[in-house]
Structure 1
Amino acid sequence: MELERFYNAPERVVDDILHVAAATADLRIAEPESGLRILVRGDWDRQREGSRQVAVLSGGGAGHEPAHAGFIGDGMLTGVISGSLFASPSVEPILAAIREVCGDAGCLLVVKNYTGDRLNFGLAAERARGEGLDVEMVIVADDVAIAEAPQPRGIAGTLLVHKLAGYLASQGASLAEIQQHTRALCERMGSLGMALKPAAQPGQPASTRSPELGLGIHNEPGTRAVDPQSADDAMRWVLEPLLQAVAPVAAPGSSSGTAWVAMLNNLGSCSSQEMGVLAECLLRQLGEERVSHLIGPAPLMTSLDMHGFSVTLVASEPELIEALTAPTTAPAWPGIQAVRNVVTFKPDTAQGNAALLEDAPQDAESTAVLWRVIETLRESREELDALDAKSGDGDAGASMQSGADSIAKALDAQRLDTSSLSPLFTGIGQLLARDMGGSSGVLLSILFTAAGGALERGDNPGEALAAGVRKMQEYGGARPGDRTMLDALMPAIESLQHGNTLAEAAQAARTGAQATASLTTAKAGRSAYVPESALEGIVDPGAEAVARVFEALARP
């Protein structure tokens, strides 16, 4: 059976994860023979620390990594109790954890509002009290997915409660005070999630469901199916009901001008790029002036590999910001960043644009030829990308089009001098260096810049282009036969040097490009990292682009 995820035995997943947590942080773990999954701070002693500081315990089902074990540390959790994947721990490990950490100052249990968690943590608290231990509990119910739900679920906002409770405990606050402040936080905050795809349990096939809003962290179905067409759509679906839920209870005396602390949580498998885009959507849609601080984007309270995100909002208050910004040794806490208006500056491009002029001289015939080349590259984008996908990263056509679009923009603005080849080549070189990007953009910029300089010194076009190619080779390191654009470019330029027509140069470029299909050992460019079997019979996309450009130049 083909391996789809990097698991060993599904029943060992939780224990493997907890073992690594204990091996890489100052933690103590319940011995495996006990069958109890408990982690506590390595520096915590219930007689010493526990006599002067309230212990803070949390936990629940596994599968939400880095929660909960990643948030153990000074200034956050004292310890955690883990169940199996998406299943609450039983009473015995919870009670054992309380016994391990609870001293005279007492112990606070931070519990997500799921029936299993409430019952097991609640019974453990009752039994601990019967043993004379001072234990209290705060239940987090931040999920606003179901309006007026009698039992809202506890999801990512639980981490803010961990941080506030841990901070207050580190400051010597009493158990009653910590319970009071954390309950007040629970009443003021809300969270809501969305996922494009649900999670897959280890050893089980992934289920197929439509994108959903308001799904739980245990892979429960959402409250409604949605069809977002963009990250903006997705964020809008989340923020509108979330704001309706939290704005009325944001803070005493608050108004529509409430400043928010926002937390953006990756539910498991969103890429860093996706989370960055979602963060921009979050700040823009809320209004950067109305977000005082941002936590994340980061994986904080995940749901295995769920492809989704959640947002938590709470009104910004000085006491809360003090707690959230306080240092902690918890390894997974991402910190909190103050949000400010973006400061911009105007780059100095005067020297780089020296060859680009206002109302630059124009030659109608040269301009028409350039437009022919531009349209050729635009029309070739998909085919060049497809070629590149077989031997590179699939963006050769997009890169060529970006260069063509830059030249087109300069032509439209009449900033590119088309009256003679020297300023034309120099201007194209500067445009490609600025706008095309990638190695091909730099190499072509070198070609045109060097050729423009050679023309200014009196070389003919063929000699000037040959000088440009030599500079490309000097800086790029490629040679004919290395399966690059040079395999088409050099034959075409050599043809021009011999006094041949553009049509003959185009034929030389086409022959050189076709020959790259038989070159299975690439020595430069992205193809150098691709197995020979993947290159056989595939024309190099850079060489193909050069051939098409010369064919466009040769057309009447």
Structure 2
Amino acid sequence: MSNLILNEKESFVLDSIQGALYTSQRDNLTLLDFNNNTKVVARSDWQQDKVALICGGGSGHEPAHAGFVGKGMLTAAVCGDLFAAPSVDAVLDAILHVTGDAGCLVIIKNYTGDRLNFGLAVEKAKEMGKKVDLIIVGDDISIPNNPQPRGIAGTILVQKVAGYVAEVGGSLEEVKAAAIKANQQTASIGVALTSCSLPGEPNDRIAQGKAELGLGIHGEPGIDTIDLPKAKALIETMAAKLIQAKPMQKNAILINNLGGLSTIELNIVAKEVLQSELAKHAELVICGTLMTAIDMKGFSISSIELDDATKQALLFDVETQAWPGVAHCHALPVTSCQSQIKKNHFTPSADESAAEVVAKVCHAIIGIEAELNHLDSIVGDGDTGSTFAAGARNVLAQLEAKNLPLQDKAKLCTAVADCLTAAMGGSSGVLLSIFFTAAGRDFEQNGVLSRAFETGLQQMMAYGGAKPGDRTMIDALYPALQAWSNQGFTAAIDAAQQGAESTVEMTNAKAGRSSYLNSDSLSGTKDPGAFAVETVFNQFK
């Protein structure tokens, strides 16, 4: 079943309208209350001195159409219930409220309920002496040679063009002619990966890995069900259909989120559209969430042929909540840069004792890979051993290749840090690299290895956020380094072991993946990082 945030199905639309009005950034909208359940959003600054523009239809397409009410676009939007045309009286009330001597143009999408209800309201308004006319938008090209193409997101482009002509003082005849021309010059096609959610209804019609191409905006099935291809191939298919249906010398493109597409996905769609054949002669692009099907995961592409008048109309500033603005098509802006990061270059040097220490540590970590993974599978995601061993193997490989500066302990620490960063994934590799980098810098200045490692640990704690008692490797490393500085290295070995053992009784981890577990999962298990530290120090008993 579908999941929607709502109060009651009956109040779904009105609640949404009221929320939109509460959060509107401009003080230019009002809800017209005719005391008859009519839902009309209109300009509060309307003076009836120009041609009025009305659009509307069933709700569920937000921000269309109330989001486009404002100076330069619509004068009013008549909102029906979910995917249901508003009543004749609702449309008629809206017409009578906004229409002055200049007249009113009603723009609707090509659906039967809209044609009938809006059409009858227009005829009634004419009988009452109002100067009013109507056009029907049918921009969907998914069914070739369809005598009744549906109106989808291209309707917004028609509204934008008509709104401009009305705003600059055009007559009703001129506004209607501009709207008809825009409709004839517009082609749209949509695709969806999921259907939309309706209160109390399932939305699982489209199988995983499939997509419906050429669908409308009411959750109706698409013309073709296809295997979901990569974004590039999908958009190439859609672009080809648009070009075949309406070839254009110059065009503007509208990329519309049908409701459920994430921003990162919409950006990918935009990238592929603007690199497709459809954009070969494109001058303008509009991208955003304009006409939805509630939460349908999908998008539509519209293309409108450009001449000077249409271009001027699309670029004209408006005072609406939802119009996203227009971008001029341009080449991808890329700035060629030269990295200023200084790579560490070391002169390899030989030192038998240093080589023995490095090899012993690496072999010790590699030797407990399986045991570390097992411990981590209890308290984490089971990869600590593999991660630590990968770092150790990389250091060992550099040692065996005689690439390490073994005679210079400061540079050796830095070289080890680089090896760990390159080989270890996740946070542990970065934290240990911070440890060795800071230690190398301190040893360069002070020449005391235990103090250098303490400095490295302080930096690792500062960036990582963990401290003694948080059930991490620090519980073994911190006391070991303290003992080394104060009592000598032999004391450090015992301190590391005691620190690692202390984690067995710690049932409240405060850092790392263990912090997401309850106490029962942690009880009786040694922290894998602390065990690794213990193992390293034990090699030097």
Q: Does the 8 Å contact 1:164/1:323 carry over to 2? A: yes
Q: TM-score, normalised by structure 1?
A: 0.78
Q: CA deviation at 1:383?
A: 11
Q: 2:102 aligns with which of 96, 102, 105?
A: 105
**Is 1:142–2:122 an aligned residue pair?**
no
In the superposition, relative to structure 1, how do residues 199 and 474 fare at CA in structure 2: closer, same or farther (>3 Å)?
A: closer
**Is 1:194–2:191 an aligned residue pair?**
yes
Q: CA deviation at 1:70?
A: 0.8
Q: Does the 8 Å contact 2:476/2:533 carry over to 1? A: no
Q: Does the 8 Å contact 1:198/1:208 carry over to 2? A: yes
Within a 5 Å distance, the mapping from 1:155-170 to structure 2 comes to 155-170=152-167
- Letter of the 2:10 partner, please give it: E
Match of 1:15 in 2: 14
Within a 5 Å distance, the mapping from 1:541-556 to structure 2 comes to 544=528
Within a 5 Å distance, the mapping from 1:196-235 to structure 2 comes to 196-210=193-207, 211-235=211-235
**Is 1:537–2:521 an aligned residue pair?**
yes
In the superposition, relative to structure 1, how do residues 227 and 355 fare at CA in structure 2: closer, same or farther (>3 Å)?
A: same
Match of 1:39 in 2: 41
**Is 1:328–2:328 an aligned residue pair?**
no
Partner deviation per Cα, 1:460-489 (whole Å, 9 max, x = no partner): 655533320022234555311124453465
Partner deviation per Cα, 1:290-339 (whole Å, 9 max, x = no partner): 4433212x221111111111111223444323222222111111111223
In the superposition, relative to structure 1, how do residues 343 and 31 fare at CA in structure 2: closer, same or farther (>3 Å)?
A: closer
SS at 2:35's partner residue? helix
Q: Does the 8 Å contact 1:376/1:549 carry over to 2? A: no
SS at 1:241's partner residue? helix
Q: 1:278 aligns with which of 248, 269, 279?
A: 269
In the superposition, relative to structure 1, how do residues 434 and 153 fare at CA in structure 2: closer, same or farther (>3 Å)?
A: farther
**Is 1:116–2:116 an aligned residue pair?**
no
**Is 1:292–2:283 an aligned residue pair?**
yes
- Letter of the 1:280 partner, please give it: K
Q: TM-score, normalised by structure 2?
A: 0.80
Gaps of at least 5 residues in structure 2 are: none
Q: CA deviation at 1:547?
A: 5.7
Gaps of at least 5 residues in structure 1 are: 391-395
In the superposition, relative to structure 1, how do residues 3 and 106 fare at CA in structure 2: closer, same or farther (>3 Å)?
A: closer
Pair member with larger Rg:
2
Q: Does the 8 Å contact 1:374/1:404 carry over to 2? A: no
Match of 1:309 in 2: 299
Q: Equivalents in 2 of 1:315, 1:14: separation in Å? A: 34
* Count of paired positions: 518
- Letter of the 1:199 partner, please give it: C
In the superposition, relative to structure 1, how do residues 199 and 162 fare at CA in structure 2: closer, same or farther (>3 Å)?
A: same
Match of 1:423 in 2: 411
Q: Equivalents in 2 of 1:471, 1:345: separation in Å? A: 34
SS at 1:103's partner residue? coil
Q: 1:86 aligns with which of 75, 83, 86?
A: 83
Q: Equivalents in 2 of 1:374, 1:187: separation in Å? A: 70
Partner deviation per Cα, 1:138-157 (whole Å, 9 max, x = no partner): 22111122122221111111
Q: Equivalents in 1 of 2:375, 2:212: separation in Å? A: 36
Q: Equivalents in 1 of 2:30, 2:5: separation in Å? A: 26
Q: Does the 8 Å contact 2:2/2:202 carry over to 1? A: no
**Is 1:176–2:178 an aligned residue pair?**
no
Bigger mean CA deviation after superposition, 53-62 or 31-40: 31-40
Q: Equivalents in 2 of 1:164, 1:381: separation in Å? A: 64
Match of 2:440 in 1: 452
Partner deviation per Cα, 1:140-193 (whole Å, 9 max, x = no partner): 111122122221111111111111111111111122222222222212221111
Q: Does the 8 Å contact 2:2/2:197 carry over to 1? A: no
Cα RMSD, aligned residues only: 4.5
Q: Does the 8 Å contact 1:188/1:314 carry over to 2? A: yes
Match of 2:61 in 1: 64
Partner deviation per Cα, 1:103-162 (whole Å, 9 max, x = no partner): 111111111111111122222222222222221222211112212222111111111111
Within a 5 Å distance, the mapping from 1:337-348 to structure 2 comes to 337-347=327-337
Q: Equivalents in 2 of 1:342, 1:462: separation in Å? A: 52
- Letter of the 2:112 partner, please give it: T
Q: 1:486 aligns with which of 471, 474, 478?
A: 474
In the superposition, relative to structure 1, how do residues 111 and 426 fare at CA in structure 2: closer, same or farther (>3 Å)?
A: same
- Letter of the 1:194 partner, please give it: V
Aligned-pair identity (%): 36
In the superposition, relative to structure 1, how do residues 346 and 416 fare at CA in structure 2: closer, same or farther (>3 Å)?
A: farther
